Structure 1
């Protein structure tokens, strides 16, 4: 008899998180789908009897700890919860900047601190943290989001180095803009903010994650598609040229 595997998916009310939760449930995992959007969570869990929804704010450390204590042993974490309002840096209210940092960076810290100790004790587990290509090459109107995701990268690198050889597989996923309801809504509200950018399909991103998990020796970072890998490489080797390319791609002219 196959042991039940439990997955915790944050940001599971829509986009990448919702698709990840549905895929894991279809594959027979016992899935805890967490988000602040109760209506969206209900849609994610529809027709998935092994998906259990929980309203949880990842920016609240106590709420995350209570959720993980309720769930028990977590074998895979898919941490997709994030916010990313597109606002020019000097126009973004300070309280909104703080909200982005609390959700995107500190939310990651809270989830890791709540789930990783149990994985380390068992000597196995999979910790998937979603960052963004914007963490390496920010685009206009993403200053707070890009900064928070860059902090996620640094945090993931440090945690992975501290626990190398532990049996816990850690991935930091850096997709370019993903075609999610949130991105489409932002593009509709402010077409100039997205310019000619087109989102990558969420399924393609999750396929890349699955391929990396199938190879335990895979690098910490997952760049899901050829364009993302090319931009990440260009950023490292020719940052000036990469910046100019971003300027052309994000231009609405």
Structure 2
């Protein structure tokens, strides 16, 4: 059963970070459901290729979400194409390595993109959904948002924010017809990993983006507020949360330090 229906063919879905990885697969999946998608990303060539592949159902919007006023610009662009049916807040950035070595500007940009922009987008789009009595917000978090992750401390904290935000907002909007959810993928073979200084070659249970997106949308259809699209990571994240917090974070620290401190060829 698909949550997005044909009740309003003139509505549009907003997907951020749409030019690659999970965002690109969200666009494909939603267009496959008959939905028009405002695909938001910085890379015009990637968006043009996606429109060429999927047709007029893709409305490209070249926008750097790190710029001031970006959320308002996205909301205004979406309004030109019809009421927003769904926001898939996928854009984000991460960094693997010691917190003390991270450039402050990079940490600030991560917090802006992973937290501030998503809150601003939700604030801009949710009131219209409530007024219409239907709509949804799907925040792309991470398993790192479920368990404190040393060597990715700021990233983990931003993703934990999204989980808490989704849970609280979902309850606040109960009965309005607007759904809110957070999906918490484990390692995924996307460009995000390389940009964050990570390698998926040795990441246990790393998956392709398409099945992760399919499971995320299926869980959202079922009304799951927090979903983990991987049996292995559902089990491991549950176990880590059941352990004493000190034990859990030390275990995560030991595992992540091998990747964070591994010598590179650079």
TM-score (norm 2): 0.83
Deviation at 1:190, TM superposition (A): 5.7
Which ranges in structure 1 are unaligned for 5 or more consecutive residues? none
Aligned to 1:205: 212
Map of 1:225 onto structure 2: 230
Higher alpha-carbon deviation: 203-212 or 46-55:
203-212
User: After the TM superposition, which segments of 4 or more aligned residues of structure 1 sit over 6 Å from their partners?
Assistant: none
Partners of 2:170 and 2:38 in 1: how far apart? 24
Cα distance between partner residues in 2 of 1:109 and 1:55: 20
Q: Match for 1:237 among 226, 236, 242?
A: 242
Identify the match of residue 20 of structure 1 among 26, 47, 52: 26
* Alignment check: 8 A CA contact 1:231 1:242 kept: no
User: Closer, same or farther in 2 for the Cα pair 1:137/1:182, shift >3 Å?
Assistant: same
How many correspondences in the alignment?
247
In angstroms, what is the RMSD of aligned CA positions? 2.3
Q: Distance in 2 between matches of 1:190 and 1:225?
A: 20
- 1:159 maps to which residue? 169
Q: Match for 1:82 among 71, 92, 100?
A: 92
Q: Distance in 2 between matches of 1:249 and 1:98?
A: 26
Partners of 1:66 and 1:84 lie apart in 2 by 28
The answer to whether structure 1 residue 99 and structure 2 residue 105 are counterparts is: no
**Which aligned pairs between 1:68-147 and structure 2 lie closer than 5 A?**
68-147=78-157
Distance 1:248 1:147, change over 3 A: closer
Deviation at 1:195, TM superposition (A): 8.2
